[in-house]
Structure 1
Amino acid sequence: MYLGLDLGTSGVKALLIDAGQTVVGSGHGSLDVSRPHPGWSEQDPAHWIQACETAIAELKASHPKELATVKGIGLSGQMHGATLLDAADKVLRPCILWNDTRSHAEAAALDGDPRFRELTGNIVFPGFTAPKLAWVKNNEPGIFAKVAKVLLPKDFLRHWLTGEHMSEMSDSAGTSWLDVGKRRWSADLLAATSLDEKQMPSLVEGTAKAGGLRAELASKWGVEAGIPIAGGAGDNAASACGMGTVGAGHAFVSLGTSGVLFAANASYLPNPASAVHTFCHALPNTWHQMGVILSATDSLNWLSEISGKGAGKLTAELGDTLQAPSGVSFLPYLSGERTPHNDSAIRGAFTGLAHESSRAVLTQAVLEGVAFAFRDSLEALKKAGTTLTRVTAIGGGSRSRYWLKAIATALQVPVDIPADGDFGAAFGAARLGLIAATGADPLSICTAPATDATIEPDTALIGAYADAYHRYRALYPAIKGATA
């Protein structure tokens, strides 16, 4: 058996697979996000451990014999978080999360140093780790002075599991400190934020062993001590491993809390001006590009909360047949936006509202707004040298066929729906655990699932969607100008 642990924003998932990669069982532990000030987003790392313990306990209760035979563990996690430890490995402050925008001024200052884009292949976004440390230095100098190690969220879990300070390439590429082409820390970029390599975890590839399970935890869970913990991956790269999106030209669209249009690359193809993320993949000598929107299902969840109706019921009101855009537009910038705008201050909006704008019209506009945000990412990927001919849909939002029809029509590419199964980040992490434990060929393990159905663009509505996208594109500068 092999175990995948995925540390998300809303919870930890533990997924058990067998040697044939069949899912055997899973457990879950919930997490909350603290927002003490506008634009802030934090979690207590101690809660990650509690959620992981809960998930493992649930798995042990349902599958004790299978859990006892685990031979390898893989990790996946939310990216970019700044987890700060002192010299005694004590947490210094709550972790500043990926969707925290407080360090926008520090990000802009670092991005003004040409070395960052040159070496990382990316804009320095406020959500990345380096500007968060610059913010801590500027605003919490006493804490900054005590920082002995900076760990990404999943690597904090690794430290708890193994006692090691280690990370891997895909997650570390989102810090703004990694030389992404050379797959190593940059002393120059670290120095630009008054840090050095001693304060960073050591690096391995995602398929390699990065520590062994501590005896105390092994005894508690009823597994063998010292079993290998794989380097693992950031959540999107882990999802790509789960989906088999590891070869050039393969792509997926992820409808999670945030939204991702992910394309695998066989070589390093940076184009930071496009606001596309260019990161190392979890497999050696591979890279990937991502367009990222910060509020995908979060946009629908927001509407659900204020309307008092569940997200599933909101989308059900639209029926199964894709409708032409109504003229009401929605900008999904509830937490700012990354691709293509790199704007942490912009906020969402409805436009075109009228007396006849029903709840269903607002729901339709939200789904279309997220679809058009993915279209923005597709156009940015094209500018970065990547052309996509089809995508596979993953994430909780992909359960809505209406939403997938809107995305297919907005992107004008087919959207494949995988056969029933769990192929997300936890599954990808478990695959990496299998590879690290057995030395198996990564490409033979990270294969794509069968396709259950394909949603083609609605050719009758492509023109209407193109017109609506044109309106959508015109709204960003108008809203930005009105709120500056």
Structure 2
Amino acid sequence: MYLGLDLGTSGVKALLIDDKQSVIGSGTGSLDVSRPHSGWSEQDPAHWIGATEDAIAALKASHPKELAAVKGIGLSGQMHGATLLDGNDGVLRPCMLWNDTRSHAEAAELDGNPIFRALSGNIVFPGFTAPKVMWVKNNEPEIFAKLRRVLLPKDYLRLWLTGEHVSEMSDAAGTSWLDVGKRAWSDELLGASGLDRSHMPSLVEGTAVSGTLKAGLAARWGMGNGVVVAGGAGDNAASACGMGTVAEGHAFVSLGTSGVLFAANNAYLPNPASAVHTFCHALPDTWHQMGVILSATDALNWYAGITARKPAELTGELGDTLRAPSGVTFLPYLSGERTPHNDSAIRGSFQGLEHASDRASLTQAVLEGVAFAFRDCLHALASAGTRLDRVTAVGGGSRSIYWLKTIATALGIPVDIPADGDFGAAFGAARLGLIAAENADPRAICTQPATEKTIEPDKGLTADFDAAYRRYHNLYPALKGVQS
């Protein structure tokens, strides 16, 4: 048996698979996000451990024998979080999460130093780890003075599981401190942030062994000694491993809290000016590119809260037949935006409201706004040298067929729906645990699922969606002018 642990923003998922990669069972533990000020987003790392304990306790209650047979554990986690530790591995402050944008000034300062784009292959976004640490240096100097180690969220879990300070390439690539082409920490980038390698964990590939499970935890969970913990992956790379998106030409669109248009690459192809993320993949000698939007299902969940309806109820009101855009346009910039704008200060908007605008038309506008944000990402990927001719849909939002029809038509490419199964980040993490435990061939393990259904673009609505996208595209500079 092999266990995948996925530390997300809203919870931890523990997933068990067997040697045939069949899902045996799963458990979850919930998490909350603290937003004490506009643009802030934090979690207490102690809550990650509590949620992991809850997830594994659920698995132990339902599948004790199978849990006892675990040989390898893989980790997946939300990226970019700054978990700051003192010399005794004590947590110095709440972790600033991936969607915390308070460090926009620090990000701009670091990005103004040309070595960051040259070596990291990416813009220094406010959500990345380095500017968060610089914000602490500038605003909480007493905390920075005690700082001895910076860990990413899943790597703090690893520390609790194994006692080791270790990260891996895909997650480290989102810090702005990794030389992504060389797959190694950069002394120059760390020095420009007032840090050095002593503040960093060691690095392994995502398929490699990073340590073994502590004897006390193994005994508590009913496992044997010598359970290995794989390097694992950042959440998007882990999802790619789960989906088998590990070879050139394979891509997926992820409708999670944030949204990702992800493409695997066999070579390092940086193009920071496009605002596309170019990161190491979890597999050795493999990279990937991503267009990232900060609010995908988060936008629909926000609107659901406003209307006091469940998201599935809102999308269900639209029926099964794709509608032409109504003229109402939604910009989903609830937390700012990454690709293609790199703008942490921009905020969302409805435009074109009239007396006839009802709840369904606003729901439709929210779905279209997210789809058009993905279209921005599609264009950005093309400018970075990656052209996509189809994508596979993953994430909670992919349960809405109407939304997938909207995305297929907005992007102008087919969207594949995988056959029933759990192919997300926890499954990808479990696959990495299997590879590390058995020294297996990564590409033989990370295969693609069968396609259950393909949603083709509605060519009869192409012109309508093109016109609606032009309105969407033209609104950003107008909105920025009003908000600046």
Name the TM-score, length of structure 1 as normaliser: 1.00
Counterpart CA distance in 2 for 1:251 and 1:355 is 41
1:243 lines up with 2:254 in the alignment: no
CA deviation after TM superposition for structure 1 residue 225, in Å: 2.3
Letter in 1 for 2:215: A
1:280-330 Cα deviation digits (max 9, x unpaired): 000000000000000000000011000001100000000000000000000
User: Which residue pairs with 1:92 in the alignment?
Assistant: 92
Confirm or deny: 8 A CA contact 2:331 2:369 kept in the other structure: yes
User: Which residue pairs with 2:214 in the alignment?
Assistant: 214
User: Which residue pairs with 1:171 in the alignment?
Assistant: 171
User: Which residue pairs with 1:154 in the alignment?
Assistant: 154
Counterpart CA distance in 2 for 1:254 and 1:260 is 5
CA deviation after TM superposition for structure 1 residue 14, in Å: 0.1
1:207-248 Cα deviation digits (max 9, x unpaired): 000010000100000001231100000000000000000000
Counterpart CA distance in 1 for 2:356 and 2:461 is 22
SS in 1 for 2:403: helix
Counterpart CA distance in 1 for 2:289 and 2:4 is 24
Name the TM-score, length of structure 2 as normaliser: 1.00
1:139-169 Cα deviation digits (max 9, x unpaired): 0001101111100000000000000000000
1:361-380 Cα deviation digits (max 9, x unpaired): 00000000000000000000
User: Which residue pairs with 2:304 in the alignment?
Assistant: 304
User: Which residue pairs with 1:354 in the alignment?
Assistant: 354
SS in 1 for 2:283: coil
1:123-143 Cα deviation digits (max 9, x unpaired): 000000000000000000011
User: Which residue pairs with 2:337 in the alignment?
Assistant: 337
1:5-34 Cα deviation digits (max 9, x unpaired): 000000000000000000000000000000
1:431-482 Cα deviation digits (max 9, x unpaired): 0000000011000000000000000000100110000000000000000001
Counterpart CA distance in 2 for 1:145 and 1:385 is 43
Counterpart CA distance in 2 for 1:263 and 1:21 is 23
Counterpart CA distance in 1 for 2:46 and 2:425 is 22
SS in 2 for 1:4: strand
- Size of the aligned set, in residue pairs, is 484
Counterpart CA distance in 1 for 2:225 and 2:130 is 35
User: Which residue pairs with 1:259 in the alignment?
Assistant: 259
User: Which residue pairs with 2:434 in the alignment?
Assistant: 434
Structure 1 residue runs without a partner (length 5+): none
Counterpart CA distance in 1 for 2:416 and 2:282 is 23
1:162-210 Cα deviation digits (max 9, x unpaired): 0000000000000000000000000010011100001100000000000
Counterpart CA distance in 2 for 1:81 and 1:56 is 23
User: Which residue pairs with 1:64 in the alignment?
Assistant: 64
Confirm or deny: 8 A CA contact 2:71 2:226 kept in the other structure: no
SS in 2 for 1:24: strand
Letter in 2 for 1:401: I
Confirm or deny: 8 A CA contact 2:28 2:54 kept in the other structure: yes
User: Which residue pairs with 2:290 in the alignment?
Assistant: 290
Counterpart CA distance in 2 for 1:382 and 1:262 is 12
Counterpart CA distance in 1 for 2:447 and 2:463 is 36
SS in 2 for 1:371: helix
Letter in 1 for 2:429: A
Counterpart CA distance in 1 for 2:335 and 2:201 is 29
CA deviation after TM superposition for structure 1 residue 256, in Å: 0.2
User: Which residue pairs with 1:12 in the alignment?
Assistant: 12
Confirm or deny: 8 A CA contact 2:2 2:72 kept in the other structure: yes
SS in 2 for 1:240: helix
User: Which residue pairs with 1:21 in the alignment?
Assistant: 21
CA deviation after TM superposition for structure 1 residue 258, in Å: 0.1
Counterpart CA distance in 1 for 2:89 and 2:365 is 47
SS in 2 for 1:145: helix
Counterpart CA distance in 1 for 2:234 and 2:180 is 14
Q: Which runs of structure 2 are paired with 1:64-463 in the superposition (5 Å)?
A: 64-463=64-463
1:32 lines up with 2:23 in the alignment: no
SS in 2 for 1:156: helix
SS in 1 for 2:338: coil
Q: Percent identity?
A: 77
Confirm or deny: 8 A CA contact 2:332 2:369 kept in the other structure: yes
1:479 lines up with 2:470 in the alignment: no
CA deviation after TM superposition for structure 1 residue 87, in Å: 0.3
RMSD: 0.3
Letter in 2 for 1:133: V
SS in 1 for 2:190: helix
1:18-73 Cα deviation digits (max 9, x unpaired): 00000000000000000011100000000000000000000000000000000000
